[in-house]
Structure 1
Amino acid sequence: MNTSPAQTTKFADKREALIASASGLLNERGIRGTTLSAVAEGVGLIKNSVTYYFRRKEDLAAACYLRSIDLYNRLTDEAMAQAGMPARLGALLRAHAQVLAAVEQGLHAPVTRFHDLRALRGEHMAPVYAAYEDMFRRLRRLLNDEATADRSAANARTHIVLGVVNAQRVWLLRHEPERFGAVADSMLGLLLRGVMASGARWQAEGCELRWQLGSADLSPSAAFLRTATQLINEQGYRGASVNRIAERLNMTKGGFYYHNETKDDLVACCFDETFAIVRQALAQAEQEQVSGWERLSAVLRALVLFQITPDGSPLLQWSAVPTLPDAAERSRIRQALGRIGERLASLVVGGMVDGSIRPLDPMQAAQLAMVGINAAAELQRFVPGTTPQAAVELYVRPLLMGLE
């Protein structure tokens, strides 16, 4: 029997409504915390009705991610019509800000963020990852004028901008929706020109050479923290199962529970360890008798290098926060992140006072710094074989001094 146009339209409309409902839930709870029942409730259906459109939760999650990728590709392609990298990047950030403003005003469906993308499993991994990598390449073309023909430099710059785009909603929510476009222009200025005042100068290394980050703890507890952090960064909260953590440490599942009450407790400890390391860097920077610019750049160099040197360890990516199952724990972690942002902003204000950092929104500069610290955990993925010296030159320098 043939399907009428009305039936086809009704099916498509309901499918779009399910994707919109699921997108909001994925942003709040991640894949693990999103259920088909909750998605169905959001559109006035029962759970069994959802399976007519999406057989499994993973099918729906993949559709949400692909929808977001399609949106970013469209915005990037439209921005490519502008002449020159600065104009193209500005067009992209403003267009994305307009979409996010429409979401806040209830005029556009939620846009699925990519913080839990690594939790996808099975048949959906390959097509969604391939689409994400294509999105990365499109963004690289948008940024890649002749001056950035070097592939490693182009990848590092693209990684910075993609981190900003992924985090754009977070820092825009400090403002009213009608101000989103103006705030996007302000972030564009930061990305293009950096934070350094005209009289300051760039250094590839500085006071951070005297600092000690982390600890030499070789206990089983420390090993669990490092391994769990690596796995969550690689595979998401859901993918970093107890079995996988134990297997990487060459122990049994029973051995895991001998040292840890639950996986959730271990993840909370991973966040605490990450924050402790960031606070170490901030505390040591605050004691240095140097300019605010030198303090800020030293913090960025120290925390990026800590994550990519052989003796270092990745910091747990803050994008994992929404995937935590406990609401109180999510609130605690977000409060800690907010305090770290305030301390970074304080370094920026100090630099503005002493004239080493140009006048700008200090909280926005702090958020850019946090994006850079967070995204450094994936730097080796996007810029394979990165050495510490290359990371400073190709990643930290443009992050602080701008892409122009």
Structure 2
Amino acid sequence: MSQLLRLATAGSVDDGKSTLVGRLLYDTKSVLADTLDAVHRASADRGLSTPDLSLLVDGLRSEREQGITIDVAYRYFATPKRSFVLADTPGHVQYTRNTVTGASTAQLGVLLVDARNGVVEQTRRHAAVLALLGVPQLVLAVNKIDLVGYDEPTYRRIAKEFSAHAAELGYPESNVVTIPVSALVGDNVVDRSDKTPWYEGPTLLEHLETVPVHADAEDAPFRFPVQYVIRPRTADFPDYRGYAGQIAAGQVSVGDEVVVLPSGISTTVTGIDSPHGPKQTAESGESVTLLLANDLDIARGDLIAAAAAPPRLSDEFDATLCWLGDKPLRPGARVLVKHGARTVQALVTELRSRFDEQTLSSVDEPDSLSLNDIGRVVVRSAEPLPIDDYADSRRTGAFLVIDPADGSTLAGGLVGAPLSQLDQPELDQADPAAQDLVSPGP
């Protein structure tokens, strides 16, 4: 079992995400004394008799003044069983782009709903984004359960509705857990509540400490984007040439045959240097410097990969975009594509479909993609890129779309179609026969 869990929270405005995160930090004693004192003072200034735990997370002044989350707030905490990196993402629909950012590296997503409102439009939108980004585990925290009198039928109804939606997104039943909580008073967050005797599952923290999480498959092909070429040219290292970066997938050992892309030249790994000295083998997530047998022309942005299982080299590919730009995307748009450490000019030549996260259907050949839309497109790049399908490798199957005019990020891109099982033409919801065409994923 991994000792580190990366998780992201999401949900609608005022569902209590920041308060839940604050409760986790507070009850696990992960808050410094001076920080807690500042929260007590800020709460007292607002006329509150108890500390507002959401202030432990809402760090921006504009967030504290408005009482909402705007940016992605990252928090780190640990228990004796596991360490955590938590991204608290915004609830407002106009900040869905930040939700994409926070969820892009998550292994588990915690979705909050207000027990009084149940599953709403933003809940379904966030679930679709988490599924699209390949987040493997979901937790539905039915928050503010105290405000409905700890009513079991209300909780069961919400849990059933969300589980059905998650199944349609392709989540197996074993990967979706629902928990009744009250972030404000602490019910079932860290400590078990005696006010929900009908709930026999784990508390939120118990689940986070024990949920099985996995990094990229151990047998995933080796992928290593080159970040920097090291040439000391000193008296001690006159001939040293190393290629530094972080292993994106798989593992590499001294003696392995590799291929350098886009040149396609094969060579052998002769050494692996790390901050702790030479190694014989390095794995996904490690930052290392590779030494190669041949003196090759390798630059930042090149990819070193397993010779036996290289990625495909392509200048045209299908992709799924989460459009984050204020201006709509239209066919023929000129953009920059940043894949790994390489940035190239590109065209979005075709808009194939737009995904409707509410009905789990798609509209073919839309005129444009607007802010927060998810769609399938065709991208043609000026130079071939070494790419994998996102379903096979989250690191080398992802890219950014950048505005060439000002350098702003326009979209997050995923090579292939992670939600292809849902990519069906828009159906007549009144036609029972049509419903059979949208089948749940595996």
TM range (shorter): under 0.3
Identify, as 1 or 2, the structure richer in helix. Answer: 1
TM-score by length of 1: 0.26
TM score, norm. by length of structure 2: 0.24
Higher relative CO (Cα under 8 Å, sequence separation at least 6) belongs to 1
Give the strand-richer structure, 1 or 2.
Answer: 2
